Amino acid sequence: MGLFLSEIWFTWYFFLILVIRWNPIYRYTFKHKLSLRYGEDLPGIDIFVCTADPVIESPIMVMNTVLSVMAYNYPTQKLSVYLSDDGGSDLTFYAMLEASKFAKIWLPFCRKFKVEPRSPQAYFHTPPLDHHHHQWQSIKKSYEEMKHRIETATELGQISEEIRREHKIFHEWDSVSSRRDHQTILQILIDGRDCEAVDIEGQPLPTLVYLAREKRPQFHHNFKARAMNALIRVSSRISNGNIILNVDCDMYSNNSDAVRDALCFFMDEEQSHNVAYVQYPQSFCNPTKNDIYGNNLSVLQEVELAGLDSNGGPFYIGTGCFHRRDTLCGKKYSQECNKPDWMSCANNTKIEESREVLEDTCKILASCTYEENTLWGKEMGLMYGCLVEDIITGYRIQCRGWRSIHFNPERKAFVGLAPTTLLQSLVQHKRWSEGHLQIFLSEYCPYLYGRKKIPLKLQLGYSLYSFWTVNCFATLYYISVPSLCLLRGIALFPKISSIWIVPFAYAFFANRAYSLGEFLWVGGTIKGWWHDQRMWVFKRTTSYLFGFTDNILRLLGFSKSAFVITAKVAEEDVSQRFEQEVMEFGVSSPMFTVLATLALLNLFSFIGGLKRVVLDMQNEVLDLFAAQIILCGFVVLINLPVYQGLFFRKDLGKMPSSVTYRSIVFALLACTIAAY
């Protein structure tokens, strides 16, 4: 019965996958036509960069992202860049101050030599071209000096008195109690309306704004969602660009034409009237050749998002997304709506009020009390109360009649940092899966709230990810029960000599062959596919299990949702093992206990099954239990890095002794109960 129910579940889930992948759409843009038609008469773009902790999101990394988006191939007077610092750190502000100075030489250099990528850190990792070697060296020297100053301040944990005296804004931090209890700190570092805000060539610079929204202990700060909503309000007062781009602090711009690509969809005269947002896929600069933790999610990014595009549009995944401002602010789509006038809210170059007055006005918009008795977080801006605030926000936008676009250019638009340890990756997937299930179990369930608002195929698409957590039960059954039954001598599959073994064998081998072909098609390797299979098992037996459990505990009132920031900085030895594709354990975690227990359970069962075969002289055991032995052997192969971490490795990345002891006890106990 357990096998039968698991197979029914896998069949249903396969149907959902089939619906999504049935008709993918791959889009291409013609940027030259955009330039020919509109020239420089383009809408204003407001770019939001969000950071939350200067320790795990280093200020120099954040500044590389800021500089990369400031240097877009776009009229600079129509670009405005906003940094939301939810850590409220003077170190981050100091880094921003340094970046605003460096931008005066970096932007002209990028324009002159058509630099790609436009993150200084990433660009200077490539060798210079001969025709601009001298300037390359000069700019790199300036960058290294800036980087040294920022990293020195970060290591010291404070800003020098000389700099604090030079810039009065640092006195704002004198009254900061903690990162969760401080007033709004806002500074317009570069005022794009000011004719004197120019680079070394006399060209205008983009507007650059630093914001640390007000936080008080008595007010829930709602994580990234409320930070984004504060930015929406503040930017509407300063620049009010028609299009909003938001990126995570580690997702630097890798394609200077990404803005123009997105505008091809927003400004298309025939098909743009109902486009709410253009979503670029996430890409990473640090995965190893064979992507040991499956961070690239290649099939999801290349196939599933393209498939969702034909069903109503992809999800909003929280970064690398261009939005129409009015759709983020709650506007409903109507066929009677006129085509948007993209120039109506273009940046005003005339200074109407002083910078100081504008800053004081905007501080009110970022205060804790501003949203009281308003629709912010409910019908306007990003929604509150969900671990995946981006997913539910995009879903609500689509339910208001809008559609979205998935665009994956040949040159990746944004490149960031992927988790470098197994635990980071598992915790990240736990949050995603928990958030998706949270939506499904709420009033916004796709089958209820989305009914008649979005296409049925899109409802099924959302439910595919909502059921990530539920997958844990069928997977856990297949990984544990056949092994235990093998020890007990109970056959769960047809004999190997029976014709009825064919459907099981076909389902197993055909599915593996298809997934391998698909993985290679999206640019992966055979070893990368094997790592992906391993992570598929690991996520379903840990991340999704804990995500489901936490959701149930939250519904029963025993726990609250918590937002976990993925570390962007790794220790040197951890980075070295990651580059060598050695799996990182290192710390004690309940997830590792589950992984190790299941790995040992299958190892013991596999050995027990082979012992039965050896002792049997008539090959009846092999005929009866071959399928279960093969299944156990497959799980054992998947878990080879776990066995190495448990028993053979001596480095700091090995499995902790406490996890080893617990897992041995649990596995032996389970085997003993099963055998007797």
Dist CA 188 CA 351 (whole Å): 13
**What's the DSSP call for residue 170?**
G
Pair of tokens at residue 508: 């197993």
Judged on CB neighbours under 10 Å (0-12, 13-18, 19+), 572 is exposed
DSSP string, 325-384: HHHHTTPPP-TTPPPP-TTTTPPP-S--S-HHHHHHHHHHHTSTTTTTTSSBTTTBSSPS
Find, among 56, 312, 290, 87, the residue nearest to 182 by Cα. 87
- Respond yes or no: is residue 616 known to be catalytic: no
Which residue in this structure is represented by tokens 């689509």?
398
Instruction: Please tell me the distance from the alpha carbon of residue 77 to that of residue 349, in angstroms, as a whole number.
Output: 8
Answer for the pair 14, 464: CB distance below 8 angstroms, yes or no: no
Amino acid sitting at position 156: L
DSSP 89-120: -HHHHHHHHHHHHHHHHHHHHHHHHT-SS--H
Q: Supply the DSSP symbol for 198.
A: B
Torsion over CA: 312, 316, 321, 324 (sign): positive
Please name which of 305, 302, 318, 315 lies closest in space to residue 251, comparing C-alpha atoms.
318
Closest CA to 469 of 504, 417, 433: 433
Q: How far is CA 343 from CA 231, 347, 514, 540, in A?
A: 21, 9, 49, 48
453 secondary structure, DSSP code: T
Cα–Cα distance between 620 and 447 in angstroms, integer?
Answer: 50
Q: CA-CA distance, 176 to 173, in Å (whole number)?
A: 5
Name every residue whose Cβ is closer than 8 Å to that of residue 662 and which is 6 or more positions away in sequence.
593, 596, 597
Tell me the CA distances in angstroms from 445 to 120, 159, 365, one per residue in order: 44, 49, 32
How many Cα atoms occupy the beta-carbon half-sphere of 325 within 13 Å? 25
86 is in an annotated binding site: yes
**Residue 85 known to bind ligand:** no
**Cα separation, 381 vs 230, whole angstroms:** 9
DSSP 51: E
Q: Which amino acid is at 294?
A: G
Exactly one of 46, 53, 85, 86 is catalytic; name it.
86
| Residue 573 among the catalytic residues | no
- The one catalytic residue among 85, 309, 390, 532: 390
Separation between Cα atoms, residue 308 and residue 96, nearest integer Å: 38
Q: Which residues are annotated as a binding site?
A: 57, 86, 224, 248
Q: Which residues are annotated as a binding site for Mn(2+)?
A: 224, 248
Active site residues per annotation: 86, 390
Q: Which residues are annotated as a binding site for UDP-alpha-D-glucose?
A: 57, 86
